Amino acid sequence: MIQTKLLLYCFVGGGVTLLLLSFFLEFVSRKLKLLNGIPKEMLEESSSAWFTLNYLMEFLFYVVIPSVGYSFFYLMFPFEGLRVGLAATLFALVMGAVPLVMVLSVRVKLPMAYLTFLLLSYFFKLVSSMIVIGYLYSL
């Protein structure tokens, strides 16, 4: 049975963690100037609307869907807490993001530094959200 109160705690905790990490990674990305060398026509203009839309998409895929999935399968997991969060993160990253970045690296001429940072930022965002969700369910 889904515990709505715990699910809301996961949404808030994961959302705040994701927001802080998104601000930090955006700052690091600008300092490293990872978008240099990519034609201007291929880039979206970075604005508050773009950041908000990107955050809402990441909130859906990194917080809402994993929280609901975790609440369904909570009783069936053989372990709990941080380990389940890390295991789910690695599974989701290997099954979802890594193949996409690999295809992009050979089909589109994007700088490898940008693609590596993109993959690492996905990993950090997903791991932080899943650790919060796993921790809250272990309480």
* Distance, CA of 47 to CA of 16 (rounded, Å): 20
Give the pLDDT of residue 79: 61
Predicted model pTM? 0.82
Mean pLDDT value across residues 84-96? 75
Whether the pLDDT of residue 12 is over 90: the answer is yes
With contact defined as beta carbons under 8 Å apart, do 81 and 134 qualify?
A: yes
Task: Look at residue 8 and tell me whether its pLDDT is greater than 80.
Answer: yes
Residue type, 35: L
pLDDT digits (tens, 9 = 90+) for 17-70: 999 999 999 999 889 988 887 788 877 777 889 899 999 999 998 899 888 887
| Displacement of CA 20 from its chain's centroid (Å) | 12
Check whether 89 has a pLDDT greater than 70.
yes
